[in-house]
Amino acid sequence: MIPARKPPMATSGIGPWFRQNMFNNIGNSIISILAVAFVLLSMFNLFTWVFTEGHWEVVWKNMRLFGVYTYPTDLLWRPLLAAAMTMGLVGLSAGLAQHDEDGGEIMRGVFWWFFALVAFLAVLGLIFWESVRFWWLIVAIVNIGGYYLGKAVPQLSRRLIWIWAIGIIAVFVVIAGVLPADSNPESAMRFVKTKNWGGFMLTLIISAFGIIVSFPLGIALALGRKSKLPVLKYFSIGFIEIVRGAPLIAWLFIASVFVPLLLDQSPDKVPGLYRVLAAVTLFSAAYMAENVRGGLAAVPNGQTEAAQALGLSAWQNTRMIVLPQALRAVIPAIVGQSIGLFKDTSLVFVVGLFDIFNVHKIVATQPEVLLIPGGIRLELSLLLVAVYWYFSFRMSIASRQLEKQLGVGER
């Protein structure tokens, strides 16, 4: 009879994984222990600091500046109404996406990510923020209401693009107000100059506008660059190369300092924000064009030839054969660029606008803040990291999901 032997060592599971990967010899064991100790110690110190030493009351007091900066106090409901409308649109789109063949997993994820934030703010608002007590709750309700409306009424998806178009215009009108400026200084829908827009609201406006508008512009420029029409081709090449030849901050300078001098005597006619939006969008479009061109180059010629053989027109070929494949190949690059643009909005300080990043500098030099030994730079930096991370990270996730869904790298 064969004597019973010990079972072989397990090779899967948590224990064996650690044994094989972190403690497989003495050297690695020491490194593992030291690394874990270091991480634990830093985390412990960070949390101790965050919860016992950080001067969060100052940050907390300035939440309004971080949100909308100097937007008039009595009109705070307007940015919040705009937020409600935007969140409603996001919810609606996510709800409608649930009827798509792919199951709308990506949109659902984005929606819940936003909803988590909005619901969190709604709770904070109910408890602490008297001036905007119910508005954040309304935002949250509209957000989730939109989602279930979309789920319940799939027919709306045919009109979704129009709903978005009208919604964006409405959001703009709500934030900007209605002309003329000086009709009544107390009126609820009075005009608010773009110089008074700021904080995270401005960050979102600039980055959303830049990302959305530069996408079609970039595709157009990329196609233009590959076009056989010389005017189109050389215009596209010239535009792309000139714009990419200088850093964004230089273009913002030009937009803010030269344009008003060249155009006319009163820059109020083209406020700083619009000049910034134009500069950011055109800059982003040039980079987008090069990304898309990379994708276009990756589509084999055989695809075009096959399309021609089937009798597709040049436009049909581009729209249905070449572009879908080209864009699919460059999703990571496009998302990467969008994340970059989202963070580059902090450069708008050159035109005296205050996005969330520049608001933190203002807060850091308030007289009462200067009385705090060592200042509150660390607290403010952590807040910025948290805010930027929350959105950038979500963009990354969406990008990975999209790649997986489209099978990038699998064919």
CB closer to another protein, 46 vs 372 = 372
User: Phi and psi dihedrals of 24, rounded to 5?
Assistant: -80, -15
- Give the residues across from 199 on adjacent strands: 355
CB of 83 to another protein, least distance (A): 18
Which is closer to another protein, CB of 16 or CB of 352?
352
Cβ proximity to another protein, 231 vs 371, nearer residue: 371
Least CB distance to another protein at residue 128 (A): 14
**Of 89 and 248, which has the nearer Cβ to another protein?**
248
Residue 138 or 363: which CB sits closer to another protein? 363
For another protein, the closer CB: 106 or 376: 376
Instruction: Compute the least distance from the CB of residue 364 to another protein, in Å.
Output: 7
Shortest distance (Å) from residue 59 CB to another protein: 10
* 60 vs 393, beta carbon nearer another protein: 60
- Minimum CB separation of residue 242 from another protein in Å reads 22
Residue with tokens 């988590």: 116
Closest approach, Cβ 350 to another protein, in A, equals 6
Q: How far is the CA of 99 from the CAs of 115, 135, 153, in angstroms?
A: 20, 30, 10
Phi, then psi, of 372 in degrees rounded to 5: -80, 125
Residue 385 in tokens: 């990291």
Helix (H, G, I), strand (E, B) or coil at 354: strand
- Distance from C-alpha of 57 to C-alpha of 168, rounded to nearest angstrom: 35
Which amino acid does the sequence have at 132?
A: V
Q: Give the span between the Cα atoms of 118 and 137, in whole angstroms.
A: 8
- Pull the structure tokens for residue 12: 């899967």
Output the smallest distance, CB 247 to another protein, in A.
14
User: Distance between CA atoms of 221 and 216, rounded to whole angstroms?
Assistant: 9
* Nearest to another protein of 366, 396 (CB atom): 366
Name the site residues for another protein (rule: CB under 8 A). Answer: 61-62, 64-65, 69-73, 182, 193, 195, 253, 256-257, 260-261, 264-268, 349-352, 354, 358, 361-375, 377
Tell me the closest approach of the beta carbon of residue 372 to another protein, in angstroms.
Answer: 7
**Nearest distance from C-beta of residue 355 to another protein, angstroms:** 12
Kindly state the helix (H) or strand (E) to which residue 118 belongs, with its residue range: helix 105-127
How many Å apart are CA 59 and CA 327, to the nearest integer? 42
Distance CA 89, CA 97 (A): 12
Q: Could you tell me if 212 and 161 are in contact, meaning their C-beta atoms sit under 8 angstroms apart?
A: no
Our CB check for another protein shows the closer of 64 and 108 to be: 64
**Could you tell me which of 105, 156, 121, 16 has the C-alpha nearest to residue 404?**
105
Scanning the structure block, which residue is given the tokens 């007289």? 367
Under a CB-based contact definition with an 8 Å cutoff, are residues 195 and 256 in contact? no
